[in-house]
Homo-oligomer: A and B are copies of this chain.
Amino acid sequence: MDLDFFFYPSSVAIFGSFRKGAIAYEILRNIAEGGFEGKITPINPKGGEVEVSGKRFEIKKRLDEKTDVAIIAIPAKLVPGLIEEIGDKIRGAVVISAGFSEIGNMELERELVEKAREKGVRIIGPNCAGIFGVHGKFFGSFEVRVKKGGLALISQSGAFGGAALAMGNEEGIGFSAFVSYGNATDLTESDFLRYFADDRNTKAIALYIEGVKDGRKFIDALKYATPKKPVIILKAGKSRSGSRAAQSHTGSLAGSYEIYKAAFNQFGAIEVEEMEELFDAAKVFEMYDKAGRRIAIITNSGGPGVLATDKAESLGLEIAKLSEKTIKALREFLPPQCSVKNPIDLIADADYERYKRTIEIVGKDENVDALLVICVPPIFIPSEEIAKAIIDAKCDKPIIVNFMAGKLVRDGVKLLAEKGIKNFQTPERAAKAFYWLSLREKV
């Protein structure tokens, strides 16, 4: 299904109140400040004018031009009428307004769907937080704007989505799109999954779901999307109490978690257990598509190397057995105190040259699929030196980096980020990232 008119629109109309702080005002502000290059039309029957960040907009009393998307933040009971009124002029509507099936107003929601179907208008929502098409500079939501990148985030919960955008942004994740789909009365998670599987700017898809509208359709969408792109799923409502809570939150029948789990496994979706893992998986899939299970660990401190090893092995990864050739080549130039067995310990005074040459030698070992490079604050040299070594090293295999200790390695982490290399904060989180990459080998 082509939903480009939602995520790359050339015109948008916003319906609601434009006093400062009101939802429609905040969405208008986000769209204007985000640099949207299409036509923007605020609409309120009272007319007037509104100024956002130095730009003045006339508030139209009604929509009188063909427009790709309407964003609607007016009282729920007026929405079906509005859809009937503007339906011939718009292709899609994002209904922010709450007060539909989620509080028992089934009839009103049915009416909304009927009017939309009559007019051939596609609906996102109602009761949602809006959408972003980041590459089209379209920020059609009151949530915080994010950096451009490869992750499409599909969230059943608007507030979860908003928090995830803000946190992901701070973690250095770039987004292609965001959609909060609320009650999913027309377009559902399955539609978005299919759409982003083909979206040219999306490298990976992340999904927060409590339950799905239509199990069969969801399975088909998974089957369609997973061979094309990594699909990361955070399924909430897995426990008994969690499932009950989900039901009162989004009205989702969370269903048996075992069925979901089986489907995720069968089609190679990446299931994560926690919100934080969602970010880590998103980070790694913005960098790499997949990797084999045999990893080499390079570190300047033994302890973190052991922690990474433990975690990797507990996840079924292999600590690669280095070839004789690799061991010989390392032994030739490394100081005798260094350990040339995997994990490779370059010890505390490891510098640019020691890291770079080790990465290049190990990267050529055919027993190694991927490299985990750990750095605790080096003594006597700045962390940027180690970052430069990682950037400069000639290595064709995926490298995941764990620079530890916040401020003390900030400059190194910053330099890596400028080159698109994202940092994982602990050895264990870095090891887990390889696990997710390895799941894609099978797909």
Contacts and interface: CB of A to CB of B under 8 A. Distances in A.
A245 to B, nearest CB: 5
Interface string A257-280: 000000000000000011110000
Contacts of A167: 404-406, 425
Contacts of A236: 303, 306-307, 310
Contact of A311 (B103, B274, B341, B404): B274
A246 interface: yes
A250 B306 CA distance: 10
Contacts of A309: 239, 241-242, 245
Most chain B beta-carbon neighbours within 10 Å: one of A156, A307, A342: A307
A125 to B, nearest CB: 15
Interface in A334-391: 337, 339, 341-343, 345, 348, 376-377, 379-380
A408 interface: yes
A276 B425 contact: yes
A418 to B, nearest CB: 20
B405 A276 contact: no
A355 to B, nearest CB: 15
B242 A163 contact: no
Contacts of A250: 302
A238 B427 CA distance: 15
A374 B77 CA distance: 31
A304 B275 CA distance: 9
A301 interface: yes
Interface in A297-320: 300-307, 309-314, 319
A242 B304 contact: no
A57 interface: no
A392 to B, nearest CB: 24
Contacts of A425: 167, 276
Nearest to A129: B348
Nearest to A249: B302
Most chain B beta-carbon neighbours within 10 Å: one of A304, A348, A380: A304
Contacts of A256: none
Chain A interface size, as a band, is 35 or more
A201 interface: no
B163 A404 contact: yes
A160 B246 contact: no
A313 B407 contact: no
A438 interface: no
Contact of A276 (B144, B249, B275, B428): B428
Contact of A341 (B248, B345, B406): B248
A162 interface: yes
A276 B429 contact: yes
A106 interface: no
Contacts of A37: none
A99 to B, nearest CB: 9
Nearest to A98: B337
A57 to B, nearest CB: 22
B163 A304 contact: yes
A210 interface: yes
A303 B160 contact: yes
A268 to B, nearest CB: 23
Contacts of A208: 303
Contact of A166 (B234, B244, B339, B408): B408
Contacts of A237: 306, 310
6 contacts: A160-B303, A166-B405, A167-B404, A239-B309, A241-B312, A242-B309
For the complex of A and B, the 3 pairs showing the least CB-CB separation, nearest first, are A249-B302, A157-B303, A160-B303
Given A170-B406, A276-B425, 15 more contacts: A103-B337, A156-B303, A159-B302, A162-B377, A163-B405, A166-B406, A237-B306, A239-B310, A241-B309, A242-B310, A245-B341, A246-B306, A249-B345, A274-B429, A275-B426
